[in-house]
Structure 1
Amino acid sequence: MLMINLFALTFLLLKAIRSFLLTFTPSNYNSNWFVLASSQRLCNSLSCSKALHFYLRRIDKCLIFSLGFHLTIQVLLGSLPLVLIVFALFTAILLLLACIDWFYLLLPNSIVLILLALGLLTSTYLFGFNLIDLLARSAGCYGIFWLTQAIYYLLRHRVGLGQGDIKLLAALASWYDIHQLCIVVLSASLAALPFCIYQYRYLNSLHAIIVPYGTFLSLSGICCSYIFHQDIFSSTFGN
């Protein structure tokens, strides 16, 4: 039953990611994009009649509602551990950020703030960390990386780390301790290195290289989360 619930949860999250990606544009991500994606008002290019399209949308909404209701009942019955839902949301948010940064070189503040809020709640109520310590760690992480970027800009007169990347690092600091966050950053940097070498091979200029570092940072965060919390998943699936 647990695997069925996980498949249902994965299906809902993938549909949510698809909805956000289809409605995202750099021009409207600060205005009506979040509401538009949440309401599922998508422009479908399928070559079918308006009547058929209307019924397909109704069936889709009924399916989403049914699966959401089913998962809610399973959580209340204890058949779907809350920690799995939390990590599934964490993975979905980072996948969404990875895709947006890869295509648009943007990390929307709204999604980063959701990741930060979810990390603060999770680390406080599920892992027992102190909220003040978490806020101080996130703020300190933001300050350190912002200062690093400022010094780099003064020395090289170019942006080395975007503001979105700095905010994402601050949000990830609510999920990881300092040592774990260092591993996440190191893994993301090592993963981005072949991408930089590939671009340099054709551009022959380091100044022309543009790296969607948020993509590599998000993917690194996903992989490291399942490594650092392997004991949680082992105990959950073992039961």
Structure 2
Amino acid sequence: MIDLYYWPTPNGHKITLLLEELAEAGAPLEYRVHGVDIGNGDQFKPEFLAISPNNKMPAIVDHAPADGGAPLSVFESGAILLYLAGKTGRFLPTDLRGRTATLEWLFWQMAGLGPMTGQYGHFHVYAPEPIEYAQTRYANEANRLLGVLDRRLAGRAFVAGDEYTIADMAIYPWIGVYDKAPIDMAPYPEVRRWHAAIRARPATARAYALAKQVNPDAGKPMSDEQKKLLFGIEPKR
């Protein structure tokens, strides 16, 4: 049994994408979802910090680790993807070149696409006042990274080649995140083609359906108090 501590954010979606793909691939891991309401401060509760000391979700607890020992907790979405792929032997190539490419693009997402797109969203959607320099800086960086991804996908079904991997699952949720500040995807035909193919997968639909089950208010604007809790800033009056 896997306990998944989750909230419907891009990083949360990564893990449900993998868990649902594992079920589709005939290697299911039984899991139960625990909502971590980051707008109400659940991520700061002592019981959550015991498994995720950086007060971020997602996190998991594996009650049947491969070593047969006590339950094992894992935090950080990239580490969780690697752990679950290793546990099941799925969605992480075993050949040297395929595995290396998958790890490269997984860490590219973790170090680049996620943080830069997150900052793009913060300054275009959530900041209490517009800051032109920050908006331009992160828009430029988000577009640069989309260009990198578009070039990588040319001639490939997925980022590591013909095989769908945890790298794709890490990247996918960070594309087209902000409805209130959409990035023009017209210059990135390969990304659009790849994104549509993943969106059409049955496991993707099931993974995203969890969002409304866990948080019926998903997609609604955050209150000033929630923004203060998440970002540590007072709203501009």
TM-score (norm 1): 0.27
Greater helix content = 1
Q: Which has the higher contact order (CA 8 A, sep 6+)?
A: 2
Greater strand content = 2
TM-score (norm 2): 0.27
Larger radius of gyration: 1
